[in-house]
Every structure is written in structure tokens, then in C-alpha cells.
Amino acid sequence: MAETPHAETPLDRPAHAAEDWTVSQDWDRYSAADHAMWDRLFERQARMLPGRVVPEFMAGLDILRMDQPGIPRFDALSDRLMQATGWQVVAVPGLVPDRLFFDHLANRRFPAGRFIRTPSQEDYLEEPDVFHDVFGHVPLLANPVFADYMQAYGQGGLRADGLGAIEKLARLYWYTVEFGLIDTDEGLRLYGAGIVSSNAESHFALEDTSPNRLGFDLQRLMRTRYKIDDFQQSYFVIDSFDQLLRQTVETDFAPLYAALAQQSDLDTDTILPGDRVFTRGTQAYAHKKMQEEPK
């Protein structure tokens, strides 16, 4: 888990940011401690992810040559990504307004935070830092199908804004791009950036008996609330990136949003009779948390 997904209050554009909220990465201003933090996080995840993450993610690290020490330079990443799939990485100060975020994605630009977490934030932080954004999100942008899905999501976001449906569409991002699991011939694998950039959630999402793991269904998923400040109670499992892309480009979202407006939202731990259940979670983790700190 890593970030506040949906800005509730309007954000103010920092004075140093351009109209589209981009800033220069200022790579030379990272300290040795900043680079050491990246290296520590990188090594821990690069060690634990093989066999847990979708193979396309490891391929992306390789294509983008992300195993070099230190915080990557966004311009070097962009050169390689541009060749692979036509994407770029641009630096932003933190969360950007929804419309701008969608507009960047629709134009194949990924807005990445440039700051890195401090040691006290090592396992939890609210805003997306460079490790979450670059290690978590960028490798799969080297995959042509996933790259097209991210652009389609941005285009869908711009349309959803006009239909007053950003909240519903944001759930799609949350349960796929951030916290998605995928069913492969070798078993379930991780691909969501919020999971793969978190050591603890990588174990939890794949191996813990607590959370539900449910088959992906677009309408059902968009009814489901989510937690931004703790491990998820349910993860959704896609069959393939092709399925994700096809559903997103072939679905007419306007009637879907109209249908959703007539349906109640679902709690984060609900299992419906029609769900394809990979794991029926015990919810032991969430229940224990609730006793310790009732919400």
C-alpha cells in the first residue's frame, strides 16, 4: 500500500511546476542516502519477486536496465520505454489533479513522484514516491499490452470525468494497476504496483490466508470500495493483460456507469454468489486490526 488514490480536496500547483504539473527530476540533487534507500528497497524486492511477480514485470526491469544502482534517471528510462512502447516517464511533485493525471496517461506519459521515502517511512507512506512510481509502475509499461491498457485507462478517465464517474473508474485502477493479481499457468502472480513496491504486501497478497482472491469482473469490481491505509481485504485476479485491455476498450462505460448508479456499493470483504472465488479469505488480519483499533 502506498498512496492516497483520489484527491478529495483540490490540489494547488506548486510554483515551480509547469502548467501540466511536471517538474524537472533534478537527478543531481539526490543525496547518497537517497540513492542508498533506492538500492536497499530495490535489492529486497528484486530478491523476493521472481516466482511471485508476473514474468512480464521482470522482463520490464531487464528491458529498462533498472538493475543499475541508484535512483534511475527519468530521461534514460524514457529513451528505452519510448523504443519499447512509446511511453515516457515525467517527474511530478506528488499527487496531481485527476484530470491532469488521466491526460498524461492518455498521452502515454507516466507522472512519477521524484522524492524518495525516508527511513521512517520505509514500509508505509501516503504519497507515491519514486520507488513506488518507478519500480512499481514503470516495468510493465515496457509491455505492449499493458502499455495500451494504461493509455486506455487515461482516455476512459477523461470520459468518466464528463460523466461524473471518476470514483467508480478509480476503483478499476486501484484493483488492477495498483493491487492486481494475475492467473498464470504457474499459479497466481502479482502485478499491481502497490503490491510489488511493498515487501509486506507482496507476501500478504499472494500467500496470506486472510484476504479474498476473486475473479476479475468489471462491473462487480467497480461496485467495490477499497482501503487506502492498510492491506486489501480482497484482491481481483485477471486471466491476462489481453483480457484487461479488451474489456477496457470494448466496454461502453456510459451505460455501465448508469447501471452502477442503481446498485449499492460493496464492502471490501464481500463475496457475492456469482463471484469466481480463488481464495475465500479468513479475514483474520482485518478482524485482528479491527479489535486493536476500531474504525
Binding site as annotated, residues for Fe cation: 132, 137, 178
Q: Which stretch binds Fe ion (CB under 5 A): 26-34, 72-80, 100-108, 126-134?
A: 126-134
Choose the stretch contacting Fe ion; rule: CB under 5 A; options: 32-40, 120-128, 213-221, 225-233. 120-128
Residue 246 sits in the site that holds ligand HBI (CB under 6 A):
no
Q: Which of residues 73-102 bind ligand HBI (CB under 6 A)?
A: 92, 95-96, 98, 101
| 292: its cell numbers | 486493536
Q: Which residues are part of a known binding site?
A: 132, 137, 178
Minimum separation from the CB atom of position 273 to ligand HBI (A): 30
Nearest to 130 by CA among 175, 79, 70: 70
The entry of ligand HBI, Fe ion, none near residue 203 (CB within 5 to 8 angstroms by kind) is none
CA distance 17 to 164: 27
For ligand HBI, the closer of residues 150 and 190 by Cβ is 150
Which window, 38-46, 88-96, 123-131, 164-172, contacts Fe ion (CB under 5 A)? 123-131
CA gap 146, 164 in Å, rounded: 26
DSSP string, 281-292: ---HHHHHHHHH
Judged by beta carbon, residue 226 or residue 278, the one nearer ligand HBI is 226
- Tell me the C-alpha distance between 66 and 285, whole Å: 34
The single-letter code of the amino acid at 120 is S
Please report whether residue 111 would count as binding ligand HBI according to CB under 6 A. yes
- The burial class, CB within 10 Å (0-12 / 13-18 / 19+), for 227 is middle
CA-wise closest residue to 96 among 136, 164, 49, 154: 154
**Which chain residues interact with Fe ion by CB under 5 A?**
128, 193
**Which chain residues interact with ligand HBI by CB under 6 A?**
5-7, 92, 95-96, 98, 101, 111, 128, 170, 173
